Amino acid sequence: MSVIRAALVPIILAVALSGCGMLSEDYDQTEGWTASEIYNKAAREMDGANYERAIDLYRKLETRYPFGRYAMQGQLDVAYAYYKSDQPEEAIAAADRFIKLYPQNPYVDYAYYLKGIVNYNRSVGFIDRFIPADASQRDPGSALDAFQDFSELVQRFPDSKYAEDARQRMLYLRNNLARNEVNVARYYMRRGAYIAAANRAQYVIERFQRTPAVEDALEVMIDAYEALGKEQLAADARRVLVMNREAGRFIDDEPRPDDVSLGRKIWEYLQLDEN
């Protein structure tokens, strides 16, 4: 027994010393730092794309110095860090927290915009970054959220520097939402649910005017009415389709807006310093 105990002593000491070393290292890095020191270190980590480390530092900043300009800007920066580290739920929660705490902040428009960008990229999907696909085939939940986020930004801050980009993304999202409804209508057609298909197509025509999906919706409506034996209704829809085609009233799809830089270093906006 004494032999075993003697053998275990070096191992226990090594583990204990290792733990103390880790605690000591963490202590040396952040314990006793001022708010500006923690913030600037987090900023450097962000600049080096070390987002997880930046997030950890922003958390320490918020815990130790919950008030003041560094904490305020840090709460906005950490939302961006979560976004860049592919943690969308945390990014949205951080942006919402900033909006709630600082509704009058001159950069609160950025928080709304960031929420929209997070949901927009979720609607696009990871695979589509490498293999383009039809965005209208996916669950529209994130697209609806992104549209709402951008809409709120545009309504609250029409002169924001993010407003124009938000409007372009809203056009793209609206077109995809309309196409999603057409896809549902076509699904109903394949299932033989012709009344449901016609109603869905009618919904697109009424709700999503001035989108490319209207042309497809009219085609679905014609097929549905013909399948139902509603020849007059089918003829009316066909007349509307032909008239608008000849007049060139159907519009093309909006190209997907390119990803924009949200600011290599958001903290530069406030130009925080030691004074």
Decide if pLDDT at 17 tops 50: no
Helix residue ranges, H only, 125-162: 141-156
Measured at the alpha carbon of residue 175, what is the angle toward residues 154 and 96, in degrees to the nearest 5? 35
Decide if pLDDT at 220 tops 50: yes
Kindly state the average pLDDT of the residues 55-67: 91
Per DSSP (E only), the strands in 72-187 are: none
How far is 228 from 233, CA to CA, in rounded Å?
10
Angle between helices 35-47 and 69-84 (to 10 degrees): 20
Greater model confidence, 13 or 55: 55
Look at residue 1 in the predicted model and tell me its pLDDT.
46
Tokens, residue 181: 């409804």
How far is 258 from 213, CA to CA, in rounded Å?
22
Kindly state the average pLDDT of the residues 210-233: 92
How far is 245 from 238, CA to CA, in rounded Å?
11
CB 237 within 8 A of CB 20: no
Look at residue 118 in the predicted model and tell me its pLDDT.
94
Query: For 226-263, how does the pLDDT look when each residue is reduced to its tens digit (9 = 90+)?
Result: 999 999 999 999 998 898 887 777 767 666 676 555 54
How far is 39 from 4, CA to CA, in rounded Å?
49
Cα separations (Å) of 28 from 20, 21, 32, 70? Answer: 12, 10, 9, 21
- The candidate with the shortest Cα–Cα distance to 117, out of 254, 262, 256, is 262
Kindly state the average pLDDT of the residues 141-154: 92
Look at residue 210 in the predicted model and tell me its pLDDT.
85
Share of the chain above pLDDT 90, in %: 56
Task: Identify the weakest region by mean pLDDT among 54-68, 124-138, 159-173, 187-201.
Answer: 124-138
Other Cβ atoms less than 10 A from the Cβ of 28: the count is: 9
CA atoms within 13 A on the CB side of 10: 4
CB 37 within 8 A of CB 11: no
Share of the chain above pLDDT 70, in %: 75
Look at residue 202 in the predicted model and tell me its pLDDT.
92
Angle between helices 213-227 and 163-190 (to 10 degrees): 20
Question: Which 8-state DSSP code applies to residue 274?
Answer: -
Greater model confidence, 225 or 133: 225
Decide if pLDDT at 114 tops 80: yes
Kindly state the average pLDDT of the residues 42-57: 93
Query: For 74-93, how does the pLDDT look when each residue is reduced to its tens digit (9 = 90+)?
Result: 999 999 999 999 999 999 99
Kindly state the average pLDDT of the residues 11-18: 47
How far is 221 from 224, CA to CA, in rounded Å?
5
Domain ranges (residues) in the chain:
181-246
Kindly state the average pLDDT of the residues 205-225: 91
CB 267 within 8 A of CB 77: yes
Mean pLDDT across the chain: 81
Kindly state the average pLDDT of the residues 124-152: 65
The phi, psi pair for 20, rounded to 5°, reads -65, -35
How far is 125 from 171, CA to CA, in rounded Å?
18
Decide if pLDDT at 2 tops 70: no
Confidence tier at 13 by pLDDT (50, 70, 90): very low
Rounded to the nearest 5 percent, the helix, strand and coil shares of the chain are: 75, 0, 25
Decide if pLDDT at 183 tops 90: yes
Look at residue 137 in the predicted model and tell me its pLDDT.
52
